[in-house]
Amino acid sequence: MKKISNESIKKFLLVTLSKYSESVSLDSLITDVFTTEIDYVSFLLQVENKLGIEIHDENAMSFETINDIVKYYYEF
């Protein structure tokens, strides 16, 4: 599978995250961005669809920052 460029992923994440928080960066803590688990799960589903990956529950719960999702993608 061809990987999406790092810049494309970051742009997608930041645009998508702007729906949840006005001031967000890749270093933002997951707990600061999402006020509910439903929002977080909804966001992860969007990420899975866009990146063509599956994020298992145990991985999703281990993410501390938005950048952890980018790292996960490149390790996938």
Q: What is the pLDDT of residues 20-69, one digit of tens each?
A: 888 899 999 999 999 899 999 999 999 999 999 999 999 999 999 999 99
Q: Look at residue 4 and tell me whether its pLDDT is greater than 80.
A: yes
pTM score: 0.88
Q: Looking at the domain 6-75, which fold is it?
A: 1.10.1200
pLDDT value of residue 65: 97
Q: How far apart are CA 9 and CA 50, in angstroms?
A: 9
Region class of 52: left (phi > 0), else alpha (psi between -120 and 50), else beta: left
Phi, psi for residue 18 in degrees, rounded to 5: -60, -20
> 72 or 2: whose pLDDT is higher?
72
